[in-house]
Amino acid sequence: MKPRAGSKALIREINEALVLDVVRAHGPVARAAITTRTGLSAATVTGIAARLLSAGMLTETDIVRGTGGRPARLLELGSSAVLAAGVRLSSSEVYVTLVNLRGDVVSSHREDLSSTDPATCADAVARAVRTATGRTRSTSLIGVGVAVSGVVDHANGVVRHSGAMGWEDVPFRARLAALLDCPVSLDSYVNCVASGLLLFDGGLAGRDLLVFSVGMSLGASVVVQGRIHRGFEGAAGGFAHSHITGAIAGSDAGRPCHCGAVDCLETWSSYWGIQRERERRGTADRPLPDADGDPLTGTDGELFTEAAERLGSAMANAAKLLGPERVFVAFAGEMGHAVLASGTEREFLRQYAQGNTPVPAFEQTRADETALARGAAYTILARVFTTDILEEHADETGPKPASR
């Protein structure tokens, strides 16, 4: 939002965010407890609570009786009146989820894509969001978050590079915002995963983390003191195009990458890279077994084993540089094979065997389409609970509910 330093509207928004964040983290909670945690006056909390109850952003629940005086009704986040939309955009489809303020999915919708042309994609996303919201009773959509594979300049709403989509410097947020009557947020797959972890895992508040996504492409999210560090034009976390071993960029040897370099980690350890190598070896017509099915053997087993070794080594190098407390690895469904997951962790830990630095906790999870779409929606929800004065998007009006 545009700076409104000193204005009553700004102060009200900050105070509302303070109240909502306390309810998110500690709800159901009494008004008196909110007063204590925020430092706001009892009268201010009462007035804010009344406004948020009227808007459906809060609801009242069980009555708590103390040792004396009037019983206090507890406040918790609303479950249906206010929603955020999250979109997982891939080269073949648009997948939309609607979540409430508690982070619960209340509706979803899927549409096939006929093309990755940005205009076609924007039309499909807008249509899918309208279809999903049309199935709910909510009167307010506070924003739409979109997750795209690749390097995303979140602040400016531009996809700098996406091999999966074939995009270079596409101002997708502005294109989509022109079709929707609400704020739009654009971010990478992995940053959306990180947003979900940060918003609804209270134990991660203020922590230093590294979050990796492994799927069609590779990604990394750098979290410093509980906030995603994005770098210049969204360049932080350029994990996919790092080099562990192999040919020097520009040489004729090695595996060519969609970025124009050679032997990027992406060519060895992403699903895209593994499939390209299978094509080169003439085995791509043989389907890979399901991640939960038969084990990988032969050439495919070798490819995934080598992918795991390079992946674990690259993750350890990044972790040694940044010193995170925890490392999260989110595997997409097509990359959830045991040989990759266990091999990556094994190599990661091996890289610390002779070191004198603490080993970060290493945790694995799945990043399916629903998780990514929810994470995209969480980038919108996070704005509801933040007290930042300067928003990242100077051309947006903030997370106020917009009527359908």
Give 166-216 pLDDT, tens digit per residue: 999 999 999 999 999 899 999 999 999 998 888 877 778 778 999 999 988
Averaged pLDDT, 107-133: 95
245 pLDDT higher than 50 = yes
Two tokens at 133?
């919201």
222 pLDDT higher than 50 = yes
Averaged pLDDT, 366-383: 89
CB neighbour class for 129 (10 Å; exposed up to 12, middle 13-18, buried from 19): buried
Distance of alpha carbon 394 from the chain centroid: 21
pLDDT of residue 390: 40
71 pLDDT higher than 80 = no
- Single pTM value for the model: 0.83
DSSP 379: H
Can you name the CATH fold of 203-367? Nucleotidyltransferase; domain 5 (3.30.420)
pLDDT of residue 398: 42
336 pLDDT higher than 90 = no
130 pLDDT higher than 90 = yes
| Strand-pair category, 184-188 with 140-148 | parallel
Averaged pLDDT, 348-368: 88
Averaged pLDDT, 36-41: 92
pLDDT tens sequence across 382-398: 888 876 544 444 344 34
pLDDT of residue 56: 86
Domain 8-77 has CATH 2.60.120.260: no
Residue 318's pLDDT band (boundaries 50, 70, 90)?
very high
Residue 75's pLDDT band (boundaries 50, 70, 90)?
very high
Boundaries of every domain in the chain: 8-77, 82-195+370-403, 203-367
Q: What SS3 class is residue 238?
A: coil
Averaged pLDDT, 5-29: 84
Top mean-pLDDT range of 96-105, 129-138, 247-256 = 96-105
Higher pLDDT pick, 378 / 296 = 378
User: What is the C-alpha separation between 136 and 127, in angstroms, rounded?
Assistant: 15
Query: Is the fold of 8-77 the same as that of 82-195+370-403?
Result: no
User: What is the C-alpha separation between 148 and 97, in angstroms, rounded?
Assistant: 15
Two tokens at 48?
């804010």
pLDDT of residue 337: 74
Q: Mean pLDDT of all residues in the chain? A: 85
CATH architecture of the domain covering 82-195+370-403: 2-Layer Sandwich (3.30)
333 pLDDT higher than 60 = yes
Q: Nearest to residue 105, comparing CAs of 80, 70, 124, 125? A: 80
Averaged pLDDT, 309-331: 93
Averaged pLDDT, 8-29: 87
pLDDT of residue 190: 93
Averaged pLDDT, 281-303: 75
Averaged pLDDT, 6-22: 85
